[in-house]
Amino acid sequence: MKILVLNCGSSSVKYQLIDTDSQLALAKGMVARIGMSGSVLTHKPHDRPETKVSAEILDHIVAVEYVIAYLTSTNHGVIKDKKEIDAVGHRVVHGGEEFKESIEITPELMSTLRSLIDLAPLHNPHNIRGITACQKTLPGIPQVAVFDTAFHHQIPPYAYIYGIPYVFYKRYGIRRYGFHGTSHQFVSDRAADMLGRPITDLKIVTCHLGNGASISAVKGGVSVDTSMGFTPLEGLLMGTRSGDMDPAIILHIMAREELTLHESNTLLNKHSGLIGISGVSSDMREISNAAHKNSNAKLALDVYCYRLKKYIASYAAAMGGIDALVFTAGVGENSSEVRALTCENLEFMGIKIDSKKNMTAVGMEMDISVDDATVRTLVVPTNEELVIARDTQRLVETRKKK
Ligand code: ADP
């Protein structure tokens, strides 16, 4: 099947057209700056160079129309007609408690999806905009929603309930949901394959370290705890997000600086984390480069790795052991420095990496442990789009069989 995978943000649409038989991305790209001046589409067919085009792209419908036009164009296309697209798989950030797995989108379901906007006002409205755009642009083509939260739906109540009055869970659904589920699922499955053992026998800690970052405890193939919470703000230090902190701090700063709710939200989500501590960048490459000459960049790097180390050990405790530790996403796949600093002093729990292997493992699957380490430390490139494409195919085929 040919599945168009879409990840829609407020001003962007990222896409891949995936052939699920060959597991190849036939083309991938992104529309950026939707609704702003200087909108641009970047399109890369798998067998030809990247092309960039500037255009006036005022909304998500026009963005999807551009994507289809490039996928089917004579010079840059990879299919002849949009009818060759068998289905569309959408990344939807929040599935709440309603959606424990991916679902095919029906008109009735759109209203349930809309009811979740309250839980994820920064993400879900844009995901819904992408779905509506495809309903207009690709009428009759099945669409599937794949939720970032779904893989974490079996986290037990003692791991998802916060220490605030229980009534807020009942009234507003305030609990840990967790995100990056497709990535944690993909890399834990790959880790089991690499180790040649059934995932049902394994206790795996997966570290997804991109611009956003989260860590999960995956026991027997099931996520039993994860660091992101009610929103993606909790947990690890991230590029621009604070991660864990004393909740009283924000009340204190709001009072002292007379910040509004909106300003406080922006402070925690956009101006904190690596950029907040270092004042240099939210990009780990720039933090690494600056760390030897800038003490705040070094501090940001140290806070990042120290917190990650604490989470790894605590998730081993949560599972009663650990067989494998997995690093993935931009930082996890590429930064041997972050992996080395994080794993330092974890020998007591069986984590011991080989520095030469660690230096070699850049953007590729590799076991970087020393030969006699009791815990295998693995680098596994993630592929969230492939998980979305496979789930979309599975749902569409199941419905056709009925
Ligand atoms: P996103 O969350 O946007 O999908 P990615 O998984 O692409 O993010 O990760 C992006 C981050 O990966 C960048 O901010 C950068 O800090 C980091 N990164 C990419 N390459 C390297 C590298 N070679 N060394 C360190 N960090 C890297």
DSSP, collapsed to helix, strand or coil, labels residue 19 as strand
- For the cut 90, the answer to whether the pLDDT of residue 305 exceeds it is yes
pLDDT band at residue 321 using 50, 70 and 90 as cut-offs: very high
For residue 366, the CA-to-ligand 1 centroid distance in Å is 18
Alpha-carbon distance of 1 to 18, in angstroms, equals 8
User: What confidence tens digit (pLDDT) does each residue in 65-98 have?
Assistant: 999 999 999 999 999 999 999 999 999 999 999 9
A 10 A CB-CB count for 399 gives 11
For residue 210, the CA-to-ligand 1 centroid distance in Å is 5
Q: Note whether 91 and 210 are same-domain residues.
A: no
Q: Residue 335 falls within a domain, yes or no? A: yes
Q: Residue 113 falls within a domain, yes or no? A: yes
The string of DSSP codes covering 195-209 is HTS-GGG-EEEEEEE
A 10 A CB-CB count for 40 gives 14
Residue pointed to by tokens 């004579």: 74
Alpha-carbon distance of 196 to 68, in angstroms, equals 40
Q: Note whether 15 and 126 are same-domain residues.
A: yes
Residue pointed to by tokens 């079996």: 154
Q: Note whether 15 and 92 are same-domain residues.
A: yes
**pLDDT for position 60:** 93
Q: How far is CA 252 from CA 26, 162, 177, 255, 390, in A?
A: 51, 21, 27, 5, 47
Alpha-carbon distance of 72 to 78, in angstroms, equals 6
Q: Note whether 347 and 251 are same-domain residues.
A: yes
Q: Residue 356 falls within a domain, yes or no? A: yes
Q: Note whether 221 and 137 are same-domain residues.
A: no
Q: Residue 100 falls within a domain, yes or no? A: yes
- For the cut 90, the answer to whether the pLDDT of residue 401 exceeds it is no
**Residues 3 and 18 sit within 8 Å (Cβ to Cβ):** yes
Position 334: which residue type? N
Atom of ligand 1 nearest to the CA of 274: 16
Q: Note whether 137 and 68 are same-domain residues.
A: yes
Q: Residue 175 falls within a domain, yes or no? A: no
**Planar angle of CA 112, 146, 339, nearest 5 degrees:** 130
- For the cut 90, the answer to whether the pLDDT of residue 118 exceeds it is no
Q: Note whether 114 and 21 are same-domain residues.
A: yes
Residue pointed to by tokens 């011991």: 352
How far is Cα of residue 172 from the mean position of the Cα atoms in its chain?
24
Least confident of 107-116, 313-322, 358-367: 107-116
Q: Note whether 246 and 338 are same-domain residues.
A: yes
Q: Residue 290 falls within a domain, yes or no? A: yes
**pLDDT for position 367:** 98
Question: Mean pLDDT across the stretch 299-322?
Answer: 98
User: Whose C-alpha lies nearest to ligand 1, atom 3?
Assistant: 211
Among this protein's residues, is 148 annotated catalytic?
yes
For residue 276, the CA-to-ligand 1 centroid distance in Å is 17
User: For residue 32, what is the domain's CATH number?
Assistant: 3.30.420.40
Atom of ligand 1 nearest to the CA of 211: 2
User: Whose C-alpha lies nearest to ligand 1, atom 24?
Assistant: 335
Please state, for a pLDDT cut of 70, what percent of the chain lies above it: 100
**pLDDT for position 122:** 81
For residue 159, the CA-to-ligand 1 centroid distance in Å is 29
User: Whose C-alpha lies nearest to ligand 1, atom 7?
Assistant: 330
Position 372: which residue type? D
**pLDDT for position 220:** 98
Alpha-carbon distance of 3 to 85, in angstroms, equals 6
Q: How far is CA 356 from CA 64, 284, 294, in A?
A: 45, 21, 27
**pLDDT for position 107:** 85
Q: Note whether 243 and 98 are same-domain residues.
A: no
pLDDT band at residue 208 using 50, 70 and 90 as cut-offs: very high
The string of DSSP codes covering 73-114 is -TTT-S-S-GGG--EEEEEES--TTT-SS-EE--HHHHHHHH
**Residues 184 and 197 sit within 8 Å (Cβ to Cβ):** no
Give the residue, out of 211, 308, 359, 384, with the most ligand 1 atoms within 8 A of its beta carbon, to mutate for a pocket test: 211
Domain count, the chain: 2
> What element of type H or E holds 333?
helix 329-334
Q: Note whether 60 and 133 are same-domain residues.
A: yes
Give the residue, out of 241, 283, 308, 382, with the most ligand 1 atoms within 8 A of its beta carbon, to mutate for a pocket test: 283
Q: Note whether 224 and 137 are same-domain residues.
A: no
Q: Residue 277 falls within a domain, yes or no? A: yes
| Structure-token pair, residue 309 | 């180390």
Least confident of 24-33, 65-74, 126-135, 243-252: 126-135
**Residues 160 and 225 sit within 8 Å (Cβ to Cβ):** no
For residue 1, the CA-to-ligand 1 centroid distance in Å is 30
Which structural domain, as residue segments, surrounds residue 16? 2-147
> What element of type H or E holds 7?
strand 2-8
| Structure-token pair, residue 232 | 């993606």
Q: Residue 174 falls within a domain, yes or no? A: no
Give yes or no for residue 334 CB within 6 A of ligand 1.
yes
Position 194: which residue type? M
Alpha-carbon distance of 96 to 107, in angstroms, equals 18
Give yes or no for residue 240 CB within 6 A of ligand 1.
no
pLDDT band at residue 402 using 50, 70 and 90 as cut-offs: confident
**Three-class secondary structure assignment of 250-287:** HHHHHHHHCCCHHHHHHHHHHCCHHHHHHCCCCCHHHH
Q: Note whether 224 and 331 are same-domain residues.
A: yes
Question: Mean pLDDT across the stretch 377-395?
Answer: 97
**pLDDT for position 332:** 98
How far is Cα of residue 285 from the mean position of the Cα atoms in its chain?
19
